[in-house]
Amino acid sequence: MLLTLVDAIFLCAFYGLISAAFAPFVLTHDSATLDLAPYALGPIIGRLLTRLAIARVIAHISYVVEGTIRSELMTKLIAVGPLSLSVKSSLNTLLVDALDDIMPYFTSFLTTLRYAMIIPVVCLVAVALVSPWSALILLCMAPLIPFFMIMIGKGAERLNQRQWRQITRLALRFHEALSKLTLVKLFNLEHAEIVTIARLTKRWRVETMQVLRIAFLSALVLEFFATCGIALCAITLGFAVYERGFDYSYALFVLLLAPEFFLPLRQMGLTYHARMRALGALTGLTDLLHEPEHFPRTAPQAAPAAAPNSAPQAAAAAAPAPWLHAPYTIELIDLTARYPNGRVGVTGFSGVFAPGTMTALVGPSGAGKSTILQTIAGFTDITQGVVWVNGHDCSPADLRVLMAQIAYIPQLPNLFYGTLRDNLKLGAPEASDAELVAALEQVGAGALLTRFADGLDHHIGENNRGISGGETRLIALARALVRQCPIVLLDEPTASLDRDSENAFLQGLSTLSHDKTVVMVAHRAELIAFAGHIIEVAPAAEAAPAGVAVDDTATEVAHA
């Protein structure tokens, strides 16, 4: 605010010196007043330095605000959990586009608002000192600009929100078509999908043109009232100079300053649409911001000061819980778990997962096998039943503590944009290159180091670009091995793998399960035969118990 006030003062000083120096020279050819012209360089330099300082402040504010928004959104995403309804295919587009529309509110609209609050007031005071009638005209015309800006802005806000919903719908449908491209080709739906996407695109284009039409209309209205205000000032000053001998310098000063009086108001009208776009983008994030947090954010509590003779007690308090040590025996008793949308994932399941044994969860699709893994990982809410870990009845908070000991490999593992080394060290930043190479060779992925000319420095593109599905699973398994987690959860680890990749994966999995608690969801007979312990998960609608332990004899009969 202070820098804007200084800028306004320099502005008035500049036009005052210009009008005092050139008005007498133009009208009376008196060159003596031209000596004041060099002094106008002072306000010019002052305004330049002031604007540079304002630009630096705006850049700093933009950096801080953008970083804060990104950090808060990421914290919220982590707090709601990976199974939240807000974590969907359109989230990436939503976050990127929303931030692009929100940031101009801070960098453009608020800056212009400060100018509109200070510069017109300073200009009005300066004009009132030399021509009260001109100041009265400016004062009467000034409220018309914000009034019509608000009236037009209400319609622009509604159109912006509608446009935002339309682009979100278009992005979601386009992503769905790309992800299901195989089914689209299989059922000859290419023409129908193209027509649908073209219709949504046309509708979004129409919505965008309606927003632009409102923007041009508001700009025309603002220019009209600003021009009328300047014209009225010019007419009254002309009669004042002609009839009453009003000073030429004062008249030129008012005419030069009148456009500067209206300029911030016109700019605020133009940037007012940045506010409307920000509000429209914010509505797209409302669902995420109001999503209940499955993983509440808790601030770390400082440990109380210990008395001089309380060292043993302090050491005992700092020690981990007795049950929180490897190896882990996990027992689920009469478990019922729900997803964040209220859908029941598994009902009445009971089973024991022992260390040193690879346990396979088998059963029909929809029985709740993946839900069991996600419950052990702490992603879903337990509505009924008990989870025992090493004989300890675990609460949801205890399961979240246990998450640090779990390596979870989903059906479609993700590799991040970066090098192979970065992906392998994701859970163990302190791991050495020798440990990374040993982990790759241990899971049967040592051939990657020879296939990639740059070895661990090989760059992996977005969405696992340049890496096959089998190689992605092997790298994910090696990443779990590098992390040395005592609990490993795998969801269909060999799905869509060829025979060679599956053999390499199973070979690496056998080295991983010697002293760890390994639980996997399996459908393929080879993977089921590879497991040492099998638990059959029956659908909740069946009369059989939801979790039934099966011995080796039953497994052989099932294979037969």
- Look-up: residue for tokens 């949801």? 396
3-class SS of residue 459: strand
DSSP 355: T
The CATH superfamily of 330-559 is P-loop containing nucleotide triphosphate hydrolases (3.40.50.300)
| pLDDT class of 543 with cuts at 50, 70, 90 | very low
Q: 3-class secondary structure for 167-223?
A: HHHHHHHHHHHHHCHHHHHHCCCHHHHHHHHHHHHHHHHHHHHHHHHHHHHHHHHHH
Q: Which of 181-185, 218-222, 350-354, 442-446 has the highest mean pLDDT?
A: 350-354
Burial code (b: 16+ CB inside 10 Å, e: under 16) for 270-286 equals bbbbbbbbbbbbbebbe
Output the pLDDT for position 311: 47
State the average pLDDT over residues 70-98.
71
Sign of CA dihedral 143, 145, 149, 151: positive
According to DSSP, the residues that pair with 384 across neighbouring strands are 336
- Range scoring the smallest mean pLDDT among 151-155, 252-256, 313-317, 429-433: 313-317
Q: Would you state the structure tokens that stand for residue 461, as one six-digit string?
A: 């593109």
CB 509, CB 477: distance < 8 Å:
yes
pLDDT over threshold 50, residue 560: no
**pLDDT given for residue 304 in this prediction:** 42
For residue 556, which phi and psi values (nearest 5 degrees)?
Answer: -65, -40
Token pair for 373: 């893994």
Identify which of 168, 154, 222 has the alpha carbon closest to the alpha carbon of residue 200.
168
Q: What is the pLDDT of residues 26-60, one digit of tens each?
A: 666 666 667 777 887 888 898 899 889 988 988 89
Residue 231: per-residue pLDDT: 85
Of 109-113, 491-495, 514-518, 549-553, the one with minimum mean pLDDT is 549-553
Burial of residue 512, with CB atoms counted within 10 A of its CB: 0-12 exposed, 13-18 middle, 19 or more buried: buried
- Among 62-71, 220-229, 387-396, 451-460, the range scoring the smallest mean pLDDT is 220-229
Task: Give pLDDT tens digits for 143-172.
Answer: 777 777 767 666 666 777 777 778 778 877
Q: Which residues contact 85 (CB under 8 A, 6 or more apart)?
A: 287, 291, 340, 341
Q: How far is the C-alpha of 522 from the C-alpha of 213, rounded, in Å?
A: 58
What would the two tokens of residue 59 be? Answer: 């850049």
Q: Say whether pLDDT at 552 is over 50.
A: no
Query: When comparing pLDDT for 27 and 560, which is higher?
Result: 27
pLDDT, mean of residues 279-289: 73
CATH class of this structure's domain 2-289: mainly alpha
143 or 463, higher pLDDT: 143
What 164-170 contacts at long range (C-beta under 8 Å, 24+ apart), as own/partner pairs, is: 164/101, 164/280, 164/281, 164/283, 164/284, 165/283, 165/284, 166/200, 166/203, 166/204, 166/207, 167/97, 167/204, 168/90, 168/93, 168/94, 168/284, 169/200, 170/197, 170/200, 170/201, 170/204
Q: In the chain, what are the domain boundaries? A: 2-289, 330-559
pLDDT of residue 269: 66
Mean pLDDT (the chain, rounded): 77
- Phi first, then psi, for residue 521 (nearest 5°) are -90, 130
Residue 314 pLDDT: 43
pLDDT score of 282 more than 60: yes
pLDDT score recorded for residue 49: 92
pLDDT > 90: percent of the chain: 1
pLDDT at 90: 54
Buried b (16+ CB within 10 A) or exposed e, 423-440: bbbbebeebeeebbbbbb
pLDDT score of 313 more than 70: no
Report the b/e string of 341-367 with b at 16+ CB within 10 A: eeeebbbbbbbbbebeebbbbbbeeeb
User: Which of 102-111, 286-295, 385-394, 541-550 shows the lowest mean pLDDT across its residues?
Assistant: 541-550
pLDDT of residue 440: 85
**Tokens at 218, concatenated:** 């508001």
The span from the CA of 3 to the CA of 72, in Å, is 30
In which band, very low, low, confident or very high, does the pLDDT at 102 lie, cut at 50, 70 and 90?
Answer: confident
pLDDT of 103 higher than 70: yes
Out of 117-126, 166-175, 271-280, which region has the weakest mean confidence (pLDDT)? Answer: 271-280
For residue 414, what are the contacts with CB-CB under 8 A and spacing of at least 6?
A: 464
Residue type, position 425, single letter: K
Of how many residues is the chain composed?
560
| pLDDT score of 121 more than 80 | yes
Give the tens place of pLDDT for each residue, 242-265.
Answer: 777 777 788 888 888 888 888 887
Question: What integer pLDDT is reported at residue 423 of this predicted model?
Answer: 87
The predicted model gives 322-327 an average pLDDT of 79
Percent of the chain with pLDDT over 70: 82
In 162-177, which positions are buried (b, 16+ CB within 10 angstroms) versus exposed (e)?
ebbebbbebbbbbeeb
What is the predicted pLDDT for the residue at 30? 64
Would you list the DSSP string of 87-140? SSTTHHHHHHHHHHHHHHIIIIIHHHHHHHHHHHHHHHHHHHHH-HHHHHHHHH
- Give the chain's end-to-end CA distance (angstroms, integer): 82
Give the pLDDT band (50/70/90) at residue 319.
low
